[in-house]
Each structure stands twice: as structure tokens, then as C-alpha cells.
Chains A and B, each alone.
Chain A
């Protein structure tokens, strides 16, 4: 889209400035969607389009949202009722029509309602026209929507939690802010994809195999890279930049082997079952939540009760004292790396179902949310990271009711900065750690 000088009108912007206005809008939630164009991302390779009409009369200003594979875009129909949204990949997308933007007295009268899934066809373009007719739209109450978002947020938060406790443990024991953690998430998903598609085994075998492979990866990284570097006496900032280099290298190695496209795990499109109110979950969603909960409880038990778990907490607290009291620090750190990588790998499989889709940079897409969760809970505290993840997950999902869906990660990142203003040590952290 090209801007012309004819849009110059508002001197208002000069006074306030783009950034301040944007931030005010976020905090105030004062979004107006009426100014949107009817075409979004028209230069992207694939397109979803449609025409919204009621008994032959075009409806203008109806809001359409297309989402899938970690990509979201929205637009409104033009005077002829037409809309077009470009999408980056040849994959499945969900198209939803915002019924509150329809005129009074008409609604989507189609099986499945105002949210439908489409698949990009061989032509690269798919057309989705909603059947609209007279009828009371089934109004979903705000409360039901909020409840549904809370459930999705818990699902997302639990998945994030699996990834962030590992990052937090590694930080607690070694002081490393590991940017390559995102690539361990991607690795888990890719490993599961390898087992299901290349070896053609079912997903319930693929998940444990992916977790074991990820754990082995963690062991390999610790003994092959991080332990030698600790021995060399590299500073924490140096280690952090090494992890950035590793993250870049690993990400492009994934792209090298897995190409730039998106692939799916089996059962990613299993049907949603309506539970209560507006909440609908697929069997995979429910299994994912149960699995994360069980693993997190087992992990908590390990951290609180087992010998190694106690040693881990002792090292997080004071590594020198722990070493002096006879704890084999290197062995514990190796265990921590294995567990962190295995949990990250599991969260990668779940993230592949949640997005849905496996892509070479899928881990990097949530890296900052993981960091936000860990910082929010308090750097280096495992349970803080878990709590932080749930807060971030809920925030991302619930806030998308108020702010545009392509800004839903912004809320979590703004909270990250705000929390550092008021309570830099995080929810469960202690003051002396912030330095």
C-alpha cells in the first residue's frame, strides 16, 4: 500500500508522535478498525478472498480475520462487499467473520457458524463466501468469550511453562541467558515430525522419542559446548552471545534440512468439541493440557524431593557453597541441561499442534514470550517461570479480545517492561538477584 500526501489531514499526529500514540492506544485499548483497507498482504504468495452479500446486496465494513500457522491478518469488506487477505504459506487457515460488524437482524446461517477453515488450493487462491441471511445471530456473551480465552490461555501457558522452566533452571544454575533455547523447542517438533513422517510411526511413539532425542541434544550441547566454555572461564555476556550465534546457526541448519515451508503433525486438524459456552477444544488440545500438567507436576516433585532436584536448587542459590558441601556441580548442571532440553522438546511438539504447524523458526517466534515468562516469574526460579508462563499465556489470549489479533504478543512484551519498572525481581524472585 502506498501512502499519498492526500492523507495528510491529521495534524494531530504531529503533536503526539506515532510511538506515543501507539502506546497510548495499547494501554487504552482504543482501537478503531473502520479505517482498514479491504486488501491486506496482497503481495504475499497465497490469497484468501471472498465476497460478503446478503440477498445480493453487498455488505460494507464487515470484519474478516484469517489466522493459521502463527500468522494472523484482518481486514474489512469494501463497498462491493469484497475482501482479500494474503497469506504466507500454502496451508490450512481459519477464516472468521465478526458478526458484530454485520447489520442488525442478519447473521451467518451456515453449518459451523462464523468461523470456517479453508485450505489453499493448487491455484494458490481460495474463496470463502459466508452464507448470510435473516436470522438472529447466536450472540456469544462476553463472559463466555472470556472463559473460552482463559481456557486457550491456560493451554498456551502450560505449553510455554514447559519451555520456560528449563530456561529458568539453566539460568539459575549456570547464569546463562540461553537464546538457543528456542531452537531446542523447534528441535523437539522436528524430531517428532521425523518419527511420524519418515519412520511412519504413530504420534504417541513420536512424542517420547522426540523428548529423548531432545534430552540427548541437551546432554550433547552441555558436554560438547557449554562445559568446555565454562572451563575456559568465559564471562556470562560472552556465553550469552555464543548462545545467540548457536541460535542463528541452528535455526538456519533447520531451514537447510526442513526447507522454509510449514509441515503438520498427524491429527493437527482433529475436530473441535464444544464443551461449554463458547469453549471448544480438540482431543489434541485436551491431551496437550493434561500431558503438560502431568509433566510439570512430575518435574515439581523432582525439583522438591529428589536428591538431584535439591542439589539443583542449592546450586541456583549459591554455587560455591553447593560445591563446597560436596555437590558435584558439573553432574547436576549436566542433568539440568538434559531436563531443560527434554522439556523444551516436549513443548515444541505441543507448540506445533497449537500454532498449528512445524516451521524452522517456530521456536524463535515464542522465544521472547518465554523470556517474558521467566522474567515475570523471577529469573532463575523454576516455579516463578511456571507462574509467569501462565500469566503470559492468559494475557496473550484474553487480550486478543480487546486488541487486534496481530498485536496480541505486544501485550505480553509491554507487561515484561512494566514489571521491570515496578518489581524487577519478578513475582517470586528475590531482590538481591537483580544486581
Chain B
């Protein structure tokens, strides 16, 4: 077995666009679910809005890359408003079903051949990189060391992703220390009590939905920046994977989602490298290497169950601040 290659690939996922995209999406979910108690199961929809919003505004309207990102963020705000107005007054599990349905509607709209000229249908979108790469401040060279070696384009994506992540963590940290954050957490604990204090619960929830949605949409942009957009990615499983990352790190924490996303991707990339190797080297008999790579998804499901049952607050969470109060 080639342990060096396995460890090399695993180490790469510590700092990859996918990890940062997951971290951003999980931060958005932390805002929604961890702090505001909103059961959003449509984070894949927000990520799709981010990715498609960026690519379509660059490809169809010829926008600059930063204008494309702005379009994505504005689109996510519109989506939050459409989603939130009918559903935020309803009980939690209704919100869960509506958000998951809304994300699926979006995916089907991006997938259909009816809008194929704009969305690329089942083929997805690619070739939207010119403006972004032209703005690359790094001269052509190889950067980094060991497993973390990047060319200038990869470095530009990473730096931008990292900047976005740090900015979002910072914003969330400040928000949660502010009076606004205390009201949000109070809504999660007891909505009626907050209403009795004269706060407009609906408005606060809507603001939380919008802010978390912006984080998720930014995650979608980072996910799409390195190569191309494939509509098969934005399925409900993506939502569940982001949830697993969130709950792993700790839902009601600021750094938990980031830690969870990193751990999720490190484990995924380790297993996806090591399991087929175990088959070829004969340690795991009777199964094919395709079956071996299925095992890691089974482990995600089992892991999610065990996590919610035995440590619902996650790695960094505080038992006293359980988010599953109701």
C-alpha cells in the first residue's frame, strides 16, 4: 500500500476549495439552525444559487467576476425572502420539508432542458473563468510545499476562499456577541418569551435566514470557482453532508462548522483513498473496489446517527447550549 500517496491526498483536503465551500455552507447552517433554530434542509439550494448565479452572470451577461459574486449574494437574499415569508411562521418540521422541497425545485429548474441555453441542463456550466483568472494578482509560479503545492490559479482560488471564510467567521462571531445575536439565541430557546418582550420574532428569523443564506451562497461560489458546475452535485445528499459536517463540529458554535467541514473532508478523502487500496492489497476480501468506495457514504450515515444520539452538541459544543431544545 502506498501510504505516502494516501497521506498526501488526505493532507491536500485540509486546505481545498471543497473544504472551504463546505465550511461556508456549514457556517450558514450554524446561523440558521445552531443559533436561530431554523431547520433549513435546503442548503444545497443556496449553494446551487451561488454557483449558478456566479456562472450565469459571467457567461450570459458578461459580468466581471466580482459582479457575478454580488449577483449570487443578491439572488440568495431573494431566495430567502421567497422561502421565508410563507414558512417562518410555521413549526420547525414544516420548515424542514419546505426548504428541502424548495432546494429540489431549484435543482430541477437548473437541470431541465427547457432552460438549457442558460443553465446548460444536465451538462452543467463551464468556461466562466476568464474574468476571474485575469484578476489573479499572483504571478505564474509554483507556490507552497509538500502536499500543499499550488499553481497561481489554484492559489488565487484558495486565497479568495480563505478570505471569504475568515470574513464570514468574523461576521458571525461579532453578530453572536451583539444584542442581535442574543435575541436570535433567545428565539431558538423560547420564541413566545421573546415575542412577549415586544420583539418582532418573524423579522429576526428572516434576517437570520438571509445572513445564513448569504454564507451558503458564497460557499456555492467557492465550490464552482476551481472548475465547473455539475447539477448532479446539488442534490439533497449534499445538504445532508453539510449537516453532518455542522453537527460534527458543533451546531451552536462559530468555529465548529469550520472544524466539522475540515474533519469531514479529511475523513472522506482518507477513506476514499484507503478503502480501494485495502481491496487491491487483499485486506478486505470479497468486495470490489467500487463497493469499497461506497462504504465511506455508509459511514457518513452511521456517523450522523451516532453523533445526534450520543453527542448532539458536536465536538466544540457546550452541553448546556443544546440546540435540540424542542
Contacts and interface: CB of A to CB of B under 8 A. Distances in A.
Given A249-B302, A250-B301, A421 B113 contact: no
B297 A406 contact: no
Contacts of A177: 93, 96-97
A73 B113 CA distance: 7
B281 interface: no
Given A17-B75, A18-B56, A238-B308, A409 B90 contact: no
A250 B122 CA distance: 27
Nearest to B312: A238
Given A2-B127, A5-B59, A420 B91 contact: no
B105 interface: yes
A242 B86 contact: no
A20 B92 CA distance: 26
B55 to A, nearest CB: 8
B247 A424 contact: no
B61 A14 contact: yes
A100 interface: no
Interface residues of B, number: 72
Contacts of B247: 241
A8 B57 CA distance: 10
Given A413-B101, A416-B97, A3 B118 contact: yes
Contacts of A73: 113, 122
Interface in B293-324: 294-295, 297-298, 300-309, 312, 324
A245 B123 contact: no
B108 interface: yes
B9 interface: no
Interface string B90-131: 111110111011101110110111111110111101110000
B120 A245 contact: no
Contacts of B304: 241-242, 244-245, 248
Contacts of A35: 116-117
Given A242-B309, A252-B297, A7 B117 contact: yes
A246 B114 contact: no
A334 to B, nearest CB: 20
A331 interface: no
A247 B324 CA distance: 20
Chain B binding surface SS class: helix
Contact of B326 (A18, A235, A245, A434): A235
A260 B297 CA distance: 14
Given A1-B121, A31-B114, A406-B108, A232 B309 contact: yes
Interface stretch (B141-149, B174-182, B235-243, B266-274): B235-243
B96 A240 contact: yes
Given A44-B122, A256-B295, A248 B300 contact: yes
B264 to A, nearest CB: 13
Interface residues of A, number: 75
Contacts of A260: 290
Given A73-B113, A235-B325, A41 B90 contact: no
Contacts of B87: 417, 420
A431 to B, nearest CB: 12
Contact of A245 (B79, B117, B294, B301): B301
Given A22-B115, A238-B309, A256-B295, A420 B94 contact: yes
B271 to A, nearest CB: 12
B98 A416 contact: yes
B86 A417 contact: yes
B121 A41 contact: yes
Contacts of B136: none
Interface in B279-300: 290-291, 294-295, 297-298, 300
22 contacts: A2-B126, A4-B59, A8-B61, A19-B75, A22-B109, A22-B115, A177-B96, A234-B308, A237-B324, A237-B326, A238-B312, A238-B324, A242-B309, A245-B307, A246-B305, A249-B305, A251-B301, A252-B295, A255-B294, A406-B113, A407-B112, A416-B101
Interface of B: 39, 49, 52-53, 56, 59-62, 75, 78-79, 82, 86-87, 90-94, 96-98, 100-102, 104-106, 108-109, 111-118, 120-123, 125-127, 236-237, 240, 243-244, 247, 290-291, 294-295, 297-298, 300-309, 312, 324-326
Per CB-CB distance, the 4 closest pairs between chain A and chain B, nearest first, are A249-B301, A248-B301, A245-B304, A435-B91
